[in-house]
Structure 1
């Protein structure tokens, strides 16, 4: 072979890529199977560890409260506070078993819940938009705020005679008192939330061409939501206080009337049962509001 031919033969690149195989590669089996039940349970425990600890501490706290209550009533302790006539937890439980089979007791609870729902809903539907408008427009704030500040300190009991004169039925007057009890906390907290909105965000929205409606929807309302739900939670508690006071004075049905009637008939166990029912209903209402707040503001739950 001549010299140039030999050089051309040596300069030709040698392919290092292996020839394609005619047989396809078999799929690789997974190294591990699905996680076991123990692994899933351990993972769930790690995620919910804090919540479980809080639940456990709360349960132990309630248990300690019941034990202390039982001991104080069993030995009829008198130490500044007299426990001689206070019913024991077992007596209250017996009263609960009797009341659970009495349709009249359930009617008391349902009527109170209906009054709370109507009065609180009206307060939220009026208080939140009014607070937003008062926080945005100074003229409306200057007109409404003095009237609200004069009426806000008046307790619910003082409104009972006026409510009876204003409304034709006891049912309407009780709902009105419940409305007043929850209206002012909702209004004040909404107004406070509006005052804390960063003006830089408002100016930025205006520079981007946002109109007043868009500024309300995209800036003021989201920024005020934490304070709005704080007002709703506080307003729910005050609504129950106002409702019970109104039912005790002018009502014929409701859990407040049930408690007052038990006191008039010297049925101490029913008094404690009514108080516990009020506490549980109030707690359940607040839990519902906080749950709604977590749905509306998911970033706050983290």
Structure 2
């Protein structure tokens, strides 16, 4: 199966007066058509900055300093502003975690969802309205004709998130990026939102990148998973394999701190705090919080180690003669 997206050696730094923050420090991954990839990690791990880089949404003092983002074989980081406008919202769309800050409070919901269709000259205004009303119904908003003319403040949090999904899917993009789409929603609404995204993915064969700190959500929804920490990828693999056999100490910590429905297992917090990304990290970024860290963990960055053809990680605990590879 061909790759729709290939991210290679991506580095995104923020140049501030008090130093350079290496928010994303050399990540690489790919995504196939129709596949769902979860990117998980604590707040500040670089998840959102990474996908914002893919969307071309990094603004000063941030800057993409290295790497490439191949979408349909073309490096979109080299695209001009016009080409990026043609891609963004049309071929690649994003659902943001806070719909209230993403929606214009002074515009009717219908007008905002129509905007990508009209911007990309997909159809007439009359046809766009019909499409929007139909889509509002498909994402579970009752009385879509009436809701079309209402404002964001007239919608609940869950309904606003459905509006954001409708806005992202209106142009039937090939790639949907969902950045914490269920944050601050109750469990029932979370399940409904994820079901809507999954149904629309099946309908259009859309590839999905799900950004989340919640491994329980990721495990229900995703084919593959990437674990990020301090701007780096520390582990990746098929979700089914990863859940059964998380190997990096940080991955294990994430799973041990994730509540599982029906489980009586005591949750365990990961000790310590993430490193300050303004300071150079000589070895493994997780070493200071890792109970199994060895001397080399503080001195050298670990190479990639393959546990299987679909599961690899960056950890000195797994480096042995014969499995060590270049990153």
* TM-score (norm. length: structure 2): 0.21
Give the greater-gyration-radius structure (CA): 1
Greater fraction of residues in helix: 1
Greater fraction of residues in strand: 2
